Homo-oligomer: A and B are copies of this chain.
Amino acid sequence: MSTANLEEFRQEIRTWIDENLPSELRVGTRKDLPKKLLSQWNKALISRGLVAPEWDTEYGGGGLDRKQAGIVKEELNAVRAPKLRTFGVAMLGPTLLEFGTEEQKREFLPQIARNEVTWCQGYSEPGAGSDLASLQTRAVREGDEYIVTGQKIWTTGADKADWIFCLVRTEPDAPKHEGISFLLFPMKQEGVKVSPLNLIDGSADFSQVFFDGARAKASHLVGPLNGGWTIAKRLLQHERTQDGGSEGGITGAMKDTIFDLVKREVGLDARGTLQDPTIRERLAQQELEQLGLRLTMRRAGEEMRASQTGRDIASLGKYRWANMVKDEQDIAMMAMGAQGLGWSGDGFGADQLERTRAWLTTRADSIWGGTNEVQLNVIAKRVLKIPE
């Protein structure tokens, strides 16, 4: 598409957003957005084909090219539209497009693009955290079905999900990376039990999932039998890129930025300087880190487009991003002092209570999606190529 046409497309999208996105939703991704408006907006996105803008229209996508899809993203970000990306769109979709059969694509992609079916991800197990490949959940072939037995943990939204994409062991005697398959099956069946996990931040978005004879169609195995590890890794790359690239993460969802918060809690002196020089310095370092991450991710994008050889920095982004968001909440806690120590009670402001929870929530960022330790291992081995 020519530059002129792209500019026209941008205007088109801008107009469409103006007409369809209510101003109440132009506040970023937040948990307390009005459900009714969200549902309207969701419908609008579906009918414009913007849930999965880059997928072919035959699979329910928007049929846009990469530049157009980029414009959609930019315009939505510019007005702080809430992000409605699901596991289906962000992770399973790209995986099916790359590894799925034509039948699988036709069966699952349109449902995803219409937000009709909710997916969850069956990866981690109690004994297989960082060492994902040591997973033990078994799937045994019986006629044209697989019978699944085992246990998953850290499954986001398992209590609400209709289907799961799940790593299972189909060949117990093979080396651990070579006996894994990638299997899809419904969650609402006998043989699947979900038990929510309470976390330190008081949330229960994650669950443990127990499989006791759960059934999957053999035709819902994605990619080659025992070839699931390659698919699993590819899918994790999508996850990694998302984390590192997202600007602000949990912060984007907060009412005020860390800078607003600190100024309010700590106060400025007559010259407009933060009262506490140590917190001021920590804040400057936080901002410099945000700047470094943002620019580096942008640079990586430019390198890719220019086909310049740069070192792959996805792991690097995830690692630094995790530390950055944790540090941000540490600063917030420092700035709030005792007012940051509330769990409930009207002695604390809603925004203060929210920050305290965020401080706890973000502890997970250096653990999930590959721990910091795993990312550093990857950088040393794959990026810096230091032999082990």
Nearest-Cβ distance from residue A284 to partner chain B, whole angstroms: 11
* A277 close to B (CB within 8 Å): yes
Scan residues 293-313 of chain A and give those whose CB is less than 8 A from a CB of chain B.
none
Is the C-beta of A278 less than 8 angstroms from some C-beta in chain B? Answer: yes
Interface string of A274-304 (1 = CB under 8 A from B): 0001100100000000000000000000000
Please, which residues of chain B bring their CB within 8 A of the CB of A281? 278
A303-331 CB mask vs B (1 if < 8 Å, else 0) is: 00000000000000000000000000000
B residues less than 8 Å from A277 (CB atoms): 277-278
Distance in angstroms between the alpha carbons of A277 and B281 in the assembled complex: 10
Neighbouring B residues of A278 by C-beta, 8 Å: 277-278, 281
**Nearest B residue (CB) for A277:** B277
Cβ distance A205 to chain B, nearest Cβ, rounded Å: 34
Docked complex: A241-281 residues within 8 A CB-CB of B: 277-278, 281
What are the interface flags for A67-90 relative to B under an 8 Å C-beta threshold, 1 for contact and 0 otherwise?
000000000000000000000000
- Interchain Cβ contacts under 8 Å between A and B, 4 examples: A277-B277, A277-B278, A278-B278, A278-B281
Once bound together, how far apart are the Cα atoms of A115 and B232, in whole Å? 71
User: How many whole Å from A93's CB to the nearest CB in chain B?
Assistant: 44
CB of A5, distance to nearest CB on chain B (Å): 53
Which residue of chain B has the shortest Cβ distance to A276 in the bound complex?
B277
Which 4 residue pairs spanning A and B have beta carbons closest together?
A277-B277, A278-B281, A277-B278, A278-B278
Closest partner residue, chain B, to A278 (CB atom)? B281
Least distance between A126 CB and chain B CB atoms (Å): 23
Q: A245 CA to B131 CA in the complex, in Å?
A: 43
- When chains A and B are docked, how far (Å) is the Cα of A277 from the Cα of B277? 7
**A156: min CB distance to chain B, Å:** 33
Looking at the assembled complex, report how far the CB atom of A383 sits from the nearest CB atom of chain B, in whole angstroms: 22
A278 to B284, CA, bound (A): 13
How far in angstroms is the closest Cβ of chain B from A211? 34
